[in-house]
Structure 1
Amino acid sequence: MQSAALDAPVIVMPVDAPPESPADASSRPAHAAAGNGGGARRATRIGLMSVSLGTAGLGGLWQSAAATVDAPLGVSDVLFVVSALAWVVLLAQYLRHGGARWRNVLDDLHHPGQGFALAYVPIIGMLTTGHFARFGVDGARWAYALFALASAVIAARLLAHWVSGGLGAAPLHPGYLLPVVSGPFIASTTASAVRLPDAAAAAFAVGVLYWLAFGTVVLGRLVAGGLPGPARPTLTVLTIPPAVGGLAWTAAHGGRVDSVGQGFAGLVLFTVLIVLFLVPHVRQDGFHVGYWVFSFPAAATGNFLVRWLHGADVPGRQSLTWLVVALVSGAFLVLYAATLRYAVRAAGRHRAVADA
C-alpha cells in the first residue's frame, strides 16, 4: 500500500464453534429448539465462514510481507478476492435459510455455543474493505462504517445477553473473545487503513477494556474447569487478542514498534509458548473442517511477527520474514489440500447414500 496507514496489517481471528451439546440444545428458545433444518443450515454456513476468514488471514500476512520485503501484493489481492467470494456465497445461503428474519438472527446470536460466530460476517467485511481501500478511500470509509457498526451491534447484543445469564451452563472458551475483543482490535486496524485515526483509537480502547475484563473471566473459567474435548481446539485462539491488538497499535503508529508494541510482542510470544504446551490436548482424530481453527492463530501470529521484525529493526529481519511467510503459507497449502480431499470424499459418501 502507498502509506503507513494503508499498509496497516489485516488480520482475522476466527474460530470454529464446537459441536452443539445436549445442554446447548436444551437452552435454546423453544421455537428455535423445535427448529427446523433452517437453523442447522444457517449455523453450517456461518461456521464455514472460518474458511473465508482464514483465507483473509493469509492474505493479511502477504499484505504485510508486501509492505516490508516487497513480496508481490497480487498474492494478497487474490487471497482476499477468494475470501470475499466465499463470504458472499455463504452469507447469501445464510439469508436464504432464514437469516433475513430478525427473530432467527436473535436465535442464532443467543445460541450458547455458537452465537459468537455471527461476528464473522462484519469482520470479514472490515478486513476486505481495509485491504482494498487503496482503490478509493472515501468509498472504503463508508463501507467500513457499515461493517464496524454491525460488528459493534453484534458484540453489544451478545455481551448484554451473556451478562444477563444467557450463556447458561455452556463452557466458556476463547471463541467468545471474537466479537468483544478481537472485533474491536480489527476495527481499529481497519480504521487506520482508511485513515480514520480517531475511530482507530476509540475501537482500540474498547478492545483493551473488554480484553482485560472478559478475557480474565474466560481464562479464570478455563483454569477452574477446563474444556470438553470438542471445544479444546479453541484454546489455540488465545494467541489472537495479543496479536491483533499489537497489529492495531503498530498500524496506528505508522508501523513503528515502541515500548507498547514490544509489550504486545512479549504477550504474543509467551502465549505462543503456552499454546505449544497445549498441542497434545487440542490434537484431533481425523481431519474435518474444524481444523481451520488452527489456521487463524497461525496467520495472526505470523502477521504480527512480520510487522514486529521490521518495526523493531530485528537483525536478519528480511530472511526471518520470508521464513515466517513460507511456514504459514505451507501450512495453509496443506490445509487447503486436506479440505479439498475431505470435500470430495464427503460428496462421494452423499452420492452413495442417495443411490442406496
Structure 2
Amino acid sequence: MALYVLKWATSRDEALAEFRHPVQAFFIALVPVATLIASIAIAPYLPAVASAMFMLGVASQVMFSAWMVGALWQGGRHTDATTPALNMPTVGGCFVSAIACGSFGYPDAGLLFFGAGFLSMVVLESIVLHRLMTHTLPVGLRATMGLHLATPAVGSVAYLAVTEGPPDRFVQMLFGYALLQALVMLRLVPWLRQPFSPAAWAYTFGISALPLAALRLVERGQTGLIAFLMAPLFIGANLIIGWIALRTLRLAVSERLLPRSLSA
C-alpha cells in the first residue's frame, strides 16, 4: 500500500495511465481487496486497526466498483480489452467484502455483497466467454485466466462466510462449477504456457480459493466427494503457489523481476 501511494506521489503520470488503461485499471481493485484480506488477518491482534481497515476497504471497493462499471456502461470498449480482469472490481471485490462482513459480524450486509458479486459473475461470465470463443486471448494476457478460475471458488467461500449451518445445495453447486473451471484450466495448460513473469501470480487467487472453499465446506459438516478432494486440492495448491514463489525469487535474484526502467 505504501509503495502504491508512493507511485501516485512520485510517478503520477504512470499511475494515471494505469488508471485509464482498459485492462490494467481493473487490477487496482486489488487495493481494497488486499486491505480487506489484511483486516481479517490482523483482527485477533489489532481489532481497532482491523475495523478501520475493514470500513476503508469496503467503502473504497464500493466506490471503485461503481466507477468502473459506470465506465463500462458508457460503451466504446474494444473486444481486445475484454478479459477475465473485468471480474476484479464487482465479482472479486464484492465476494471478498462479503467474506470480511461475515468475519466482522455483519452477515446481512455480507449477503448484499454476495448477491452483487454473484449476479455480476453470471453477467460477466457470458461476456468473457463470448470473447474467448470468438477472439483469441493474446499470450501476454492469458495469465488473467486465473481470475476466471477464482470467481466461483471465492464465491463459495463468500457464501459460507455469510450463512450458517450445514452447507446447502446452492453452495455445493457453486463449488462444483469451481471444480469444472479447474479441470478446464488443467486442460488449457499447454495453451496458457508463456515465459514466466510476475503475471503468474494472477493464477494464485483461484488456486488458493479452491482448497479454502473445500476446507470451509468440510468444517461445516460436508462429507463425501468434497471431503475426499480437500487434501489433494490443498497439497496441489501449495505446490503450485510454492513453484510460482520460487520462480519469482529466481527472477528477483537475477534482477529480471521488474522492467529495466523500473528496476534501474
Report the TM range for the smaller structure's normalisation: 0.7 to 0.9
Note the C-alpha offset of 1:229.
1.7
CA-to-partner distance for each residue in 1:282-335, whole Å, 9 max, x for gaps?
0113x2222222222211112112222343432598885444333322322222
Question: CA 1:276/1:331 → structure 2, altered by over 3 Å: closer, same or farther?
Answer: closer
Give the alignment partner of residue 148 of structure 2, picking from 207, 228, 238: 238
**Distance across 1 between alignment mates of 2:193 and 2:143:** 7
Note the C-alpha offset of 1:142.
3.4
Q: Does 1:212 align with 2:112?
A: no
**Distance across 2 between alignment mates of 1:316 and 1:208:** 24
CA contact (8 A) 1:171 1:227 kept: no
Note the C-alpha offset of 1:264.
1.0
Task: Summarize the alignment of residues 1-356 of structure 1 with structure 2, pairs less than 5 Å apart.
Answer: 88-99=1-12, 107-135=17-45, 137=47, 139-165=49-75, 167-254=77-164, 256-285=166-195, 287-315=196-224, 321-346=230-255
Question: CA 1:97/1:201 → structure 2, altered by over 3 Å: closer, same or farther?
Answer: same
Question: CA 1:91/1:311 → structure 2, altered by over 3 Å: closer, same or farther?
Answer: same
Structure 1 unmatched runs, 5+: 1-87
**Distance across 2 between alignment mates of 1:347 and 1:230:** 17
Note the C-alpha offset of 1:146.
1.3
CA contact (8 A) 1:250 1:257 kept: yes
Question: CA 1:317/1:113 → structure 2, altered by over 3 Å: closer, same or farther?
Answer: closer
In structure 2, what residue type is equivalent to 1:97? T
Question: CA 1:277/1:325 → structure 2, altered by over 3 Å: closer, same or farther?
Answer: closer
Question: CA 1:329/1:89 → structure 2, altered by over 3 Å: closer, same or farther?
Answer: farther
**Distance across 2 between alignment mates of 1:281 and 1:305:** 27
Note the C-alpha offset of 1:339.
1.1
Note the C-alpha offset of 1:184.
0.3
Question: CA 1:150/1:106 → structure 2, altered by over 3 Å: closer, same or farther?
Answer: farther
Note the C-alpha offset of 1:225.
1.6
Note the C-alpha offset of 1:108.
2.9
Question: CA 1:165/1:109 → structure 2, altered by over 3 Å: closer, same or farther?
Answer: farther
Note the C-alpha offset of 1:155.
1.3
CA-to-partner distance for each residue in 1:84-113, whole Å, 9 max, x for gaps?
xxxx343243233345xxx87664332112
Question: CA 1:279/1:205 → structure 2, altered by over 3 Å: closer, same or farther?
Answer: same
**Distance across 1 between alignment mates of 2:197 and 2:78:** 28
- Residue 26 of structure 2 aligns to a residue whose secondary structure is helix
Aligned length: 261
In structure 2, what residue type is equivalent to 1:330? L
In structure 2, what residue type is equivalent to 1:96? A
CA-to-partner distance for each residue in 1:146-200, whole Å, 9 max, x for gaps?
1111111111111111221353353311111111211101100110000012210
CA-to-partner distance for each residue in 1:197-234, whole Å, 9 max, x for gaps?
22101111111221122222122222222312211222
**Distance across 2 between alignment mates of 1:191 and 1:307:** 16
Question: CA 1:169/1:333 → structure 2, altered by over 3 Å: closer, same or farther?
Answer: closer
Structure 2 unmatched runs, 5+: none
CA contact (8 A) 2:178 2:210 kept: yes
Note the C-alpha offset of 1:246.
0.8
Percent identical: 25
In structure 2, what residue type is equivalent to 1:280? P
Q: Which has the higher Rg, Structure 1 or Structure 2?
A: 1
In structure 2, what residue type is equivalent to 1:201? L
CA contact (8 A) 2:33 2:93 kept: yes
CA contact (8 A) 2:108 2:162 kept: no
Normalised by the length of structure 1, the TM-score is 0.66
Question: CA 1:318/1:209 → structure 2, altered by over 3 Å: closer, same or farther?
Answer: closer
Give RMSD over aligned pairs. 2.8
CA contact (8 A) 2:166 2:222 kept: no
CA contact (8 A) 2:149 2:178 kept: yes
- Residue 87 of structure 2 aligns to a residue whose secondary structure is helix
Question: CA 1:196/1:106 → structure 2, altered by over 3 Å: closer, same or farther?
Answer: farther
- Residue 346 of structure 1 aligns to a residue whose secondary structure is coil
